[in-house]
């Protein structure tokens, strides 16, 4: 079945550091890929998405590229801020079904 694997957390960085959170997936066909973020005390929010191979999703300085050859969708940001502290979830939805399959989440803490 479909699955998503994220790098284990927690991840702690200093402000202005470079961020990478790894995500790989297993799916039949060509799924749509998403990153969702959960800030402290808030609900899940869509951060970015990509729907086909080589697409790049971007938002709020975050980027992720849909890599079919490596079945990956790694999240990157060039310079993180304290306000980026949150839990990040990688997810996919198969073309044949709308339900999302999530990774286990990566808790990110940015220190000033």
Partner 1 sequence: GAGVSQSPRYKVAKRGQDVALRCDPISGHVSLFWYQQALGQGPEFLTYFQNEAQLDKSGLPSDRFFAERPEGSVSTLKIQRTQQEDSAVYLCASSLGRRPDQPQHFGDGTRLSIL
What residues make contact with partner 1 under the rule CB under 8 A? Answer: 4, 31-32, 34, 36, 42-46, 49, 51, 89, 91, 93-105
- Give the shortest CB-7-to-partner 1 separation in angstroms: 13
* DSSP secondary structure code for residue 7 in this structure: -
- Give the shortest CB-74-to-partner 1 separation in angstroms: 17
Of residues 16 and 60, the one with the C-beta less far from partner 1: 60
Of residues 82 and 97, the one with the C-beta less far from partner 1: 97
Count of C-beta atoms within a 10 Å radius of residue 29: 8
The residues pairing with 37 across neighbouring beta strands, listed in sequence order, are 45, 88
Asked if residue 102 has a cis previous peptide bond (ω within 30° of 0), the answer is no
Distance CA 7, CA 19 (A): 12
Distance CA 67, CA 24 (A): 9
Of residues 13 and 87, the one with the C-beta less far from partner 1: 87
- Give the shortest CB-14-to-partner 1 separation in angstroms: 25
Comparing CA positions, the residue from 42, 27, 31, 52 lying closest to residue 87 is 42
- Give the shortest CB-91-to-partner 1 separation in angstroms: 8
Of residues 19 and 33, the one with the C-beta less far from partner 1: 33
């Amino acid at each position: 079945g479909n699955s998503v694997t994220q790098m284990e957390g927690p991840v702690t960085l200093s402000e202005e550091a470079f961020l990478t959170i790894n995500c790989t997936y297993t799916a039949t066909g060509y799924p749509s890929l998403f990153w969702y973020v959960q800030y402290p005390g808030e609900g899940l929010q869509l951060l970015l998405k990509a729907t086909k191979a080589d697409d790049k999703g971007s938002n709020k300085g975050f980027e992720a590229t849909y890599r079919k050859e490596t079945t990956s969708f790694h999240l990157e940001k060039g310079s993180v801020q304290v306000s980026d502290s949150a839990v990040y979830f990688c997810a996919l939805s198969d073309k044949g079904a709308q339900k999302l399959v999530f990774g286990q989440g990566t808790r990110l803490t940015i220190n000033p």
